[in-house]
Structure 1
Amino acid sequence: KLNADQQYQARLAMNSAESLLVIINDILDFSKIEAGRLDIEYIDFDLSAMLGDFVETVAHKAHEKGLQLILDTVGIEHSMVRGDPGRIRQILSNLVSNAIKFTAEGEIVICAMLNTTDDYRYQFECSVSDTGMGIPKDRTQHIFDSFTQVDASTTRRFGGTGLGLAIVKQLCQLMQGDIQVSSEEGKGSCFRFYLPLQPSRLSRATVPSANIENVPLLVVDENGTNREVLRRQLELWGARVDLADNAARALHMMNAKLENPDAPHYAVVFMDRLLPDMGGNQLGQAIRENPNFASTKMIMMTAIGNRGDAAKFAAIGFDGYFTKPMTLSDLQDALAVLLEDGDALAKASPLVTHHYLKSLAGNTSPMPGHWPEPCRLLVVEDNSINQTVVQGMLEEIGLHCDMADHGKKALALIRNSDPKYPYNLVLMDCQMPVLDGYSTSRAIRQGLAGDKHQTIPIIAMTANAMAGDREKCLEAGMNDYLSKPINIDELFEKLSLWLTDRVPQPLPDLTGDDGVPWDQADALKRVRNKPERLQTLITMFMTSSTTLLDELRQALVDGDIAAGIHAVHTLKGVAANLSALHLTGAAEKLEAALRAGATENLMPLMEDILQQHQTIEELFTEYLHHHPEQRYGSP
């Protein structure tokens, strides 16, 4: 298992790889833009969180060059918006990468604002400014042209294709926005882009979870921009903030508080590790040695290149340790933990960090009772095991549902539902007998289940994870999309989006280990750690999977590709819901071969399925043998 530091680095690597993939695809995007084939999507996302995640992935590059990277999101009052986060991140990636590349010393500031327009939409304004080499005046008007750089020496010194800014310009225009540049040679540049965004149904104000109204705070940082950004954010939340640019001034301000009995002590001191007169660790030690400051909490802010020092700072007496720039979510959550001074702080080992705050968020489960009353859901799913799994997940989050095993039955249930208590939402499997999910959704939208039900939210559920599946669902009239095996975290988030106006909270990570045939721990998590429910599902699987295998085998013998796809698709779904990883993988390979028409090598794939099925049956039988007291429990 990875430790917290390794998890952080792995996550950075993953995010950086995703950004790299975007950059590699620049040339493809440019071609698509030229051909008018680049898609812009509109989804709900957390703007502040997206900016924070992005900055984490590029901060190390800035710090490696000794640059300060500063994120200013004070101007974002409502964080949840609707737009294309991937394309916005692509714009930022190009702009910030250029800023780092062309800046030898100083700082890079990302400043983001969200303004409300006259039609109650949002105008996102974001600037990336640097203290780099700047652009000559005669080159600024051509800087967004394709294959253009400042001059030939720029290509020799820094590399690049000259496509990045051209793509940025065209992406902004595709999203009905624009970008401008102002620059002074030898002093730096500022790229400012504007994009319209839509309000999200989950829109909320970015306020801290702790009340810091009139709470006295001290920020100690040599960098003036850092101090001002942090001050404005904290004051926006109601805090009383003082600033110091060195350790001596900070100690003087803290001691001055002692001389005034009416002046409350600083509740939290934020300090940079590198100060001009002494290190932040020395300042922290001096504060801790004074018993008058025993209740003052201290947060160390340091460059990303100095990770692994948490234990050392904890030994000095620091309460929190964060890499710069400190994201908005970390700032909010850290203040909540430190000012509450309760169990969450006591359990922080060795102190409060980004990883610790993430772990606290991961332990937040949805609480029943937040759904509209009454709330009726219809689950349209032909497989009994999948029905039981989804029903169990819904019950865990305080919801109940009716079941239909094919589309015609679903249409009848919706059409004949009580007018006083109509269905609020439909969870729709895509592959079903009699009438599949796509046809059923089209029928609902055409009014065949009743005119008053034409706009009911429909969320697709499918074991397919192929490119284009999401578009296929949306074209059929569905509103959203869930991949099987259904993850309860994603299910809760989708239902929160379509049933309520409240912001979904994350659930524990339910990922499994694909190195074992059966991830028993993950299977238990899928049924919310209820062994009796798992017992029932296993017993159902032992009965139904044999029939599925017979159907699959017969379909292959008869050359009936459609029947084979349906049988193996169903087998894949039920195996995944029980975390039978190897059987799921084997079924997925056969399904892919059938869909691709590669019928010459089907029997080896079928043999693999039979072998994996035998293995999982043995494991399930052993599990049932060791849990006889729960074998006949009800789901």
Structure 2
Amino acid sequence: MVSPQGSTPGASRKPDLPVVPPLHWQHMNILVVEDHSAYRLLLGWMLQKLGLGYELAADGFMGLKAFTRRPFDLVICDCQMPFMDGYSMASAIRQHEHDHGLRRVPVIALTANLQNDTPRRCREAGMDAWLLKPLTLEQLHAVLLHWLPGSDAPQAGQETAPAPGWPTRDTLVATFGSDAIVDQLLEGLLVEAWEDYRVLRQACSTRNASLVAERLHRLVGSLVFLGGSDLESTATQLIEQVQSGDVASHSVQLELFQARLCVYLKYLSRL
């Protein structure tokens, strides 16, 4: 379970850099289920700014009906709603996916009050993460970067096969001693790595060579720690290439590295 104030990458940061949504988002659709009309409109505006298609629903019943009528890439739903709350709707979505053999769509909870039992209730309902109100565009962007499929994501029902040098669950447990320790290490590393990925994307878009090199250097440290030697060597080469201040001439290599890094981080998140 990923929280915006805890382990969701980038949610607690300062909005110091412009939001740069991936181009493939223009082909994706988000279902927003929120009973407050003003917040529905706000979320719709944010998603439009991010280049995403969306549909709005006012309660859980309407949201579930919309979900079963057409495919969505992600669902954002308020926890507390009349008629059918977000927990019940998420459980019904998971049952619908199971009954019809459908891929699992990320469900992000939206709540104004993170009570002690909220994370547990989210997990039990089948939700993947939560966001706290009031929500900023930068926070939403960071969460969507984490949970939306990448442009090179595998088709539904397929898993990303580990490349040579990538860790597996078994090798990590053998190295660090227990599943609990591995979970803690992965959680902390992924928070930082997704934030570095976000900043790297924005630094590349603004051709900020020093920031590109800085984030690549941080990512090398993460890659060395868990494995991923192919990405590590690529990042090291890119650092040398951009330190001259020339980002534009290496934009293709940087884009390919970012795409591969995204695949790797999503692979780690499933371990």
TM value normalised by structure 2: 0.49
* Bigger Cα Rg: 1
Query: Which has more strand, going by share of residues?
Result: 1
Greater fraction of residues in helix: 2
